[in-house]
Amino acid sequence: MLPLLRCVPRVLGTAVAGIRAAAPSLPLLQPASRPCARPFGLLSVRAGSVQLPGLLRPWGPCGCGCGCGGLHTEGDKAFVEFLNDEIKEEKKIQKYKSLPKMSGGWELEVNGTEAKLVQKVAGERVTVTFNINNSIPPAYDGEEGPSEGQKVEEQEPELTSTPNFVVEVVKDGSNKALVLDCHFPEDEIGQEEEDQSDIFSIKEVSFQSTGDSDWKDTNYTLSTDSLDWGLYDHLMDFLADRGVDNTFADELVELSTALEHQEYITFLEDLKGFVKSQ
Amino acid sequence: MSLVVRNLQRAVPLRRARLREKVQAVRRALGVQRFDLGVVCVDNRKIQQINRIYRDKNTPTDVLSFPFYENLKAGDIPQPEFPDDYNLGDIFLGVEYIFQHCKENEDYYDILTVTATHGLCHLLGFTHSTEAEWQKMYQKEKQVLEELSRHTGTRLQPLSRDLF
């Protein structure tokens, strides 16, 4: 029998930067030239001194001659060069210059890493919320690496953002929201063979008050781990009737991946600006 | 025991609760409602892939069965010793294929029922390799579908009717 109920635990937390497309040569590994090396006397720390070591102490005008007055190391310079290359590479592989549209009548609101899709249908407001932080599952490492002399495929795996998402359904004139917490399967990338998981699944269901900004843990929460499958299928049909079906889930992944990549590039640019700032 | 429905495709619409209701009726008619069963709905691409891997046939199809009991005599109900062995296995329904092959006067969910009945009979050891085996399988499917028809008023024909 094929393992229908198989579930592979997922290790949360991602080393996103670590599995991005590799930037070209690493300047940090090159022999560093030292155009603004200070005399050793300036770097020394006298016994009993309460001052910071010279290297970390802001010393009036920068020793390299740029006149900035701030900390300005060879490492920072190499870091900025690395970031420049990384940003260039990421922009080259960026699939969408603006966020893709969802089909159907969904309106998109983005607030930082959080996205909200809203749709009003026949006396109901349906809201789908997700956050792209920690939304890329870790890459699957095969048990055996390539043997010596074997050619290694250079192509980087395409990263896909599969965030948990929350669907809230509110009837007009009511302050009660039916909240369904939905997840994508927890298999790692590269383990798609014989995958028999639904494209997405409902994990928890509860009622929350629309007036409360935080969820109340005192409200009954239905976990689908031990749920009657008949009820589960009705809940899935309920979502499908409100536009949250497998096609929607595919489009959400596309949107989330685009947003995650956009935020990653913005982060790299911010990081470069921070390192460079004087 | 559990009937688990999975929908792995987005090619055609599928009401999971309606499919469940139909498959539950088939399980009852076969007397195997105590056994776990997985029904996995897939598109043409996926069922073609499974067909190629497990049957060496590189074409999409309507149903593929993966029995928990592989050497069951046709029609025998398994007698498990342990609770975990109350399991019939999994049926893969090629719902896109089935949808595309539905005739105008046929109801999609009726055809899903007929196809699931065929798949469940395979899980219970029925085959159609020889005419004698086919006769047994055809009679079983017919019996089940007639029982369903008594409740629903529909007239469902076994999937295996034209195999010999």
Asked whether the beta carbons of residue B38 and residue A5 sit closer than 8 angstroms, the reply is yes
Position A97 scores a pLDDT of 85
Position A72 scores a pLDDT of 72
Per the model's pLDDT, the better-predicted residue between A37 and B101 turns out to be: B101
What's the CATH number for B3-152?
Answer: 3.40.390.30
Instruction: Tell me the angle at which helices A74-93 and A246-276 cross, rounded to the nearest 10 degrees.
Output: 150
**β-bridge pairing A124-131 and B36-42:** unpaired
| Amino acid at residue number B139 | Q
For A251, which residue in chain B has the nearest alpha carbon?
B10
**β-bridge pairing B36-42 and B3-7:** parallel
Asked whether the beta carbons of residue A197 and residue B6 sit closer than 8 angstroms, the reply is yes
Among A88-102, B36-50, B110-124, the range scoring the smallest mean pLDDT is A88-102
Task: Write the CA distances from A222 to A36, A212, A231, A262, B4, integer angstroms.
Answer: 64, 19, 11, 35, 18
- Find the Cα–Cα–Cα–Cα dihedral A85, A86, A88, A94, rounded to 10°: 160
Asked whether the beta carbons of residue B8 and residue A198 sit closer than 8 angstroms, the reply is yes
- Domain coordinates in residue numbering, chain B: 3-152
Q: Which portions of chain A are predicted below pLDDT 50?
A: 1-55, 57-60, 190, 193
Position A142 scores a pLDDT of 53
Position A278 scores a pLDDT of 66
| Amino acid at residue number B55 | R
Following DSSP, what letter does each residue of B48-98 receive, concatenated? Answer: HHHHHHHHS--S--SEEEEESSTTPPTTPPP--SSGGG-EEEEEEEEHHHH
Per the model's pLDDT, the better-predicted residue between B140 and B105 turns out to be: B140
| Best B10, B45, B47 residue to mutate vs chain A (most A CBs within 10 Å) | B10
| Residue found by looking up tokens 């670590």 in the block | A18
What is the CATH superfamily name and number for domain A93-134+159-186+197-268?
A: Mitochondrial glycoprotein (3.10.280.10)
The pair of three-digit structure tokens given for residue B37, joined into one six-digit string: 């069963």
3-state helix, strand, coil in chain B (%, to 5): 50, 15, 35
**β-bridge pairing B87-94 and B36-42:** parallel
pTM of structure? 0.79
Asked whether the beta carbons of residue B15 and residue A247 sit closer than 8 angstroms, the reply is no
**β-bridge pairing A165-171 and A176-183:** antiparallel
What are residue A207's phi and psi, to 5 degrees? Answer: -100, 140
Q: How many percent of chain B have pLDDT more than 70?
A: 99
Report chain A residues whose CB lies below 8 A from the CB of B90: 1-2, 4, 196
Euclidean distance between CA atoms B144 and B156, whole angstroms: 10
What average pLDDT does range B61-73 have in this prediction? 96
**B1, pLDDT greater than 80:** no
Element spanning A207, H or E: strand A201-209
Task: Write the CA distances from A269 to A44, A62, A98, A210, A239, integer angstroms.
Answer: 35, 24, 17, 37, 39
Confidence of residue B72 (pLDDT cuts 50, 70, 90): very high
Q: How far is B68 from chain A (nearest CA, A)?
A: 5
Asked whether the beta carbons of residue A198 and residue B7 sit closer than 8 angstroms, the reply is yes
Euclidean distance between CA atoms A50 and A29, whole angstroms: 34
Asked whether the beta carbons of residue B16 and residue A237 sit closer than 8 angstroms, the reply is yes
Euclidean distance between CA atoms A76 and B133, whole angstroms: 77
